[in-house]
Amino acid sequence: MSTATAEPIAATQLSQLDQLKKLTVVVADTGDFESIREFKPRDATTNPSLIFAAVGKPQYMPILEKAIVDRKNSGLTGAKQLDDIMDYVLVAFGKEILDIVPGRVSTETDARLSFDVQGTLDKAHQLIGLYEKMGISRDRVLIKIASTWEGIKAAAQLEKEGIHCNLTLLFSLPQAVLCAESNIQLVSPFVGRIYDWFKAANKREYTGAEDPGVSSVTTIYNYYKKFGHKTEVMGASFRNVGQITELAGCDLLTISPDLLAKLAASNEPVEKKLDPEAAKAMPIDRLALDEKTFRFLFNDDQMATEKTAEGIRKFSADIVKLEKLIAGKL
């Protein structure tokens, strides 16, 4: 009894970040090595937008330039050469991150392959092959793939091969359920982008548990725990600290450096909000999905279809920007 009483007092002496780390695996959502060193997350995630932002900084340009020098005489030309150098850049960033974090790095496939099962498989095999050539075992890498029907099908095959995946651009329960039933390692529901959509659509603010992004992750987490799915839930794309603390207890949370800094600077108490045992007791109906049902339910969710499409477009655009940067240096 005395221990339980003393715990909140002790917790307030820790930063919110340190309190959160006791409840949830904290992941850095960045390609900035210095931020990763500062906040000491277990894992880190990257995407084309983060890598493009990173190579724009002088301290990270040498990674891009080395990949160009190393692969300039590969014998490949045109689009194939750009694609090859891009893969080396992504894996080079991943390797540098894995020299810092004790856990895993998420490396994203080309978003332009989001509706191409075989193309996604080929790209994942290429990325994992490069990591393994650098002496990095595949259990330290998560291949990030968009949560389309085709992306999930490709990820299911990769998981059977021992290549673990992080299904990103996830905005709905049908996407999450299909991932779990496909034995995907991890999903990344996007809290902030869901919040953005509902805030714009309804012209109102959301806070606390009523935040639609928070509610979406909570629903997915509870569903997984209720039905014993092993897929990890990693809340992503946060807009404020409140969204993060409302999901304390989630399997993982991937957080940008600016919000990690705010958590580290605050000593406000952090309470556990998500709990597997509580989820198991909830009255939740199982969702049965075949391809037709998945596509209909996903299409019926205006927010999910719009945000998934928008995310694929934006990531694809940043890949094109990175390719142009590489082409200019070639």
Structure tokens at 66: 């080395």
Q: Which residues contact 198 (CB under 8 A, 6 or more apart)?
A: 206, 212, 213, 303
Give residues with Cβ within 8 angstroms of 197, minimum separation 6.
212, 303, 306, 307
3-class state of residue 294 by DSSP: helix
Lookup: tokens for 145: 């793939």
**DSSP H helical ranges for 56-190:** 61-71, 78-98, 117-133, 149-160, 173-181
Report the alpha-carbon distance of residue 87 to residue 141 in Å, rounded: 14
Which one of 144, 225, 226, 273 is the catalytic residue?
Answer: 144
Given the structure tokens 């928008």, which residue do they identify? 310
Strands 141-146 and 105-108: parallel
Question: Is 144 a catalytic site residue?
Answer: yes
Tokens linked to 241: 């600290």
- The 3-state secondary structure of 6-22 reads HHHHHHCCCCHHHHHHH
Check if the beta carbon of residue 178 is closer than 8 Å to that of residue 289.
yes
Distance CA 327, CA 274 (A): 47
Q: Where in 115-260 does DSSP place strands (E)?
A: 141-146, 165-170, 186-189, 232-235, 252-255
Taking each helix axis as running N to C, give the angle between helix 78-98 and helix 302-329, from 0 to 180 degrees, rounded to the nearest 10. 100
Sequence-separated (6 or more) residues with CB below 8 Å from residue 26: 17, 20, 39, 41, 42, 252, 253, 255, 260
CA distance 197 to 214: 13
Q: Any idea which residues carry the catalytic annotation? A: 144
